[in-house]
C-alpha cells in the first residue's frame, strides 16, 4: 500500500530540512538523516527535494556550503578556516567544489573580493 503526502506536507517537511541544512553546514549531512527529518523515505525525499528545489540534495548542500565559504572569505577568513567552518573535509575539497561551482578558486575569489572592497581614492 502506497501512501501519498500532500503537497503542503512536502513543503513543510522541506522547510524543516532546509532549516536544518542552514544551521548545520559544518556537520555531515547524510541523505538518510535529511530524509528522516522530512519524514519521507530516502527515495521519496530525493524526488520531492529535486522537484521542489530544482536540484539534488547533495548539490544543494554543496552550493550552500560554497556560499557560506564565500561569505567567510569576504570577511577575510583563512582558506583552511573557511573550509572547516563551511563543512568541507579540507581546503582542497573546498577548492574543488568552489571552482566547479564558481569557475574560480577560493583564493582568486578572496583576492577579487578584497580588491573590490578596497576604497579607491
Flag whether pLDDT at 7 surpasses 60: no
**pLDDT, tens digit (0-9, with 9 covering 90-100), for 86-107:** 999 999 999 999 999 999 999 9
**Where does the pLDDT of residue 1 fall: very low under 50, low under 70, confident under 90, or very high at 90 and above?**
very low
CATH code, 61-115: 1.10.10.60
Residues 6+ apart with CB under 8 A from 31: 42, 45, 46, 57, 58
Q: How many helices (H) does the chain have, and how many strands (E)?
A: 7, 0
> Domain ranges in the chain?
7-55, 61-115
**pLDDT, tens digit (0-9, with 9 covering 90-100), for 44-62:** 999 999 999 999 999 999 9
Amino acid at each position: 500500500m502506497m501512501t501519498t503526502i500532500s503537497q503542503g506536507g512536502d513543503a513543510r517537511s522541506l522547510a524543516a530540512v532546509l532549516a536544518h541544512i542552514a544551521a548545520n553546514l559544518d556537520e555531515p549531512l547524510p541523505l538518510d538523516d535529511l530524509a528522516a527529518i522530512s519524514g519521507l523515505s530516502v527515495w521519496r525525499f530525493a524526488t520531492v527535494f529535486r522537484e521542489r528545489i530544482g536540484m539534488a540534495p547533495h548539490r544543494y548542500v554543496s552550493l550552500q556550503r560554497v556560499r557560506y565559504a564565500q561569505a567567510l572569505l569576504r570577511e577575510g577568513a583563512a582558506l583552511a578556516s573557511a573550509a572547516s567552518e563551511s563543512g568541507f573535509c579540507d581546503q582542497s575539497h573546498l577548492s574543488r567544489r568552489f571552482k566547479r561551482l564558481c569557475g574560480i578558486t577560493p583564493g582568486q575569489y578572496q583576492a577579487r573580493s578584497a580588491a573590490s572592497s578596497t576604497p579607491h581614492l
